[in-house]
Amino acid sequence: MEKALTELIKISNAVGKNKLLVQGGGGNTSVKTENGKHMYIKASGTALKDMNAGRGWRRLKVKSVLSILEDTSITELSETEREKEIVNRLNQACDDNIKTGSRPSVESHLHALLDRCVIHLHPVAVSAYVCAKAGRAELERLFRGEEFPPLWVPYVDPGYTLAMKVSKLVNAYKKRFGAAPKIIFLQKHGLLISTNTAHTALRLVQRVINICESKLRPSKPVKVKKPKFDDIIAAKLAIRQAYFETRQAYVAVRYFIDGDIGAFLKRKDAKRLLSLPGLTPDELVYAHGPAMWLDKNDYKTIANRLKERMIKSRIPSVAFLVNGLGLFIVGTEKTIPDVKDIVTGSFLVRSSATNFGGLNPLNRRQRDFINKWEAESFRRKIAAEAGQRQLRDRLAIVTGAGSGLGRSIAIGLAREGALVGLLDIDRKAATQTRDLIKKELPEASTMILSCNVTDEANVDKAFKSLLENWGGMDILVNAAGIAPPYSLTELPVGKWRQALEVNLTGYFLMARAAAKIMIRQGMGGNIINISSKSGLEASKDNTAYNATKAGEIHMTRGWAHELGEYGIRVNCLAPGNVFEGSKIWNPEYIRICARKYGIKPEEVIPYYVKRTALKREIKGQDIADAVIFLCSEKARTITGQTLVADSGQVMVR
Please tell me the predicted confidence (pLDDT) of residue 452: 97
Please tell me the predicted confidence (pLDDT) of residue 596: 83
Task: State which amino acid sits at residue 643.
Answer: L
Catalytic residue chosen out of the listed positions 250, 255, 545, 608: 545
* Triad 619, 625, 631: Cα angle to 5°: 145
- Phi first, then psi, for residue 478 (nearest 5°) are -85, 105
CB proximity list for 117: less than 8 A, separation 6 or greater:
7, 11, 30, 31, 32, 194, 195, 196, 197, 198, 200, 201
Using DSSP's 3-state secondary structure scheme, residue 402 falls into coil
Distance of CA 305 to the CA centre of its chain: 23
Whole-angstrom CA distances from 288 to 15, 48, 319, 327, 345 are: 24, 21, 8, 15, 14
- Report whether pLDDT(275) > 50: yes
Please state the domain extents for the chain: 3-213, 235-383, 395-582+619-644
pLDDT classification of 391: cutoffs 50, 70, 90: very high
Q: pLDDT tens across 608-653, in order? A: 888 888 898 889 999 999 999 999 999 999 999 999 998 888 876 5
Whole-angstrom CA distances from 429 to 416, 426, 583 are: 22, 5, 11
Please tell me the predicted confidence (pLDDT) of residue 332: 86
Please tell me the predicted confidence (pLDDT) of residue 377: 56
Least confidently predicted of 9-18, 322-331, 387-396, 613-622: 387-396
| Cβ density class 238-273: b for 16+ within 10 Å, e for less | bbbbbbbbbeeebbbbbbbbeebbbbbbeeeebeeb
- Report whether pLDDT(314) > 80: no
Q: pLDDT tens across 460-512, in order? A: 999 999 999 999 999 999 999 999 989 999 999 999 999 999 999 999 999 99
C-alpha distance across the termini of the chain, in Å:
68
Mean pLDDT in residue range 528-538:
93
- Report whether pLDDT(380) > 80: no
Cα–Cα distance measured from residue 150 to residue 139, given in angstroms and rounded to the nearest whole number: 9
Using DSSP's 3-state secondary structure scheme, residue 554 falls into helix
Task: Based on the residue annotation, tell me whether 545 is a catalytic residue of this protein.
Answer: yes
- Phi first, then psi, for residue 421 (nearest 5°) are -85, 120
CB proximity list for 245: less than 8 A, separation 6 or greater:
299, 303
Question: What would be the CATH architecture of the domain defined by 395-582+619-644?
Answer: 3-Layer(aba) Sandwich (3.40)
Q: Where are the beta strands (DSSP E) in 228-289?
A: 252-256
**DSSP characters over 419-433:** EEEEEES-HHHHHHH
Q: Do domains 3-213 and 235-383 have the same CATH topology?
A: yes
Mean pLDDT in residue range 65-77:
89
Please tell me the predicted confidence (pLDDT) of residue 653: 54
Q: CATH top-level class for 3-213?
A: alpha beta
Mean pLDDT in residue range 70-90:
85
- Report whether pLDDT(384) > 70: no
More confident residue, 293 or 576: 293
Cα–Cα distance measured from residue 223 to residue 392, given in angstroms and rounded to the nearest whole number: 38
More confident residue, 351 or 589: 351
Q: pLDDT tens across 134-152, in order? A: 999 999 999 998 888 999 9
Least confidently predicted of 8-12, 397-401, 595-599: 595-599
Mean pLDDT in residue range 120-125:
93
State which CATH number among 3.40.1260.10, 3.40.225.10, 3.40.50.2300, 3.40.50.300 fits the domain covering 235-383: 3.40.225.10
pTM: 0.88
Using DSSP's 3-state secondary structure scheme, residue 153 falls into strand
Cα–Cα distance measured from residue 584 to residue 134, given in angstroms and rounded to the nearest whole number: 72
Mean pLDDT in residue range 293-299:
90
Helices assigned H by DSSP within 46-97: 62-70, 79-93
Please tell me the predicted confidence (pLDDT) of residue 440: 95
CB proximity list for 606: less than 8 A, separation 6 or greater:
none
Which residues on adjacent β-strands are paired with residue 45? none
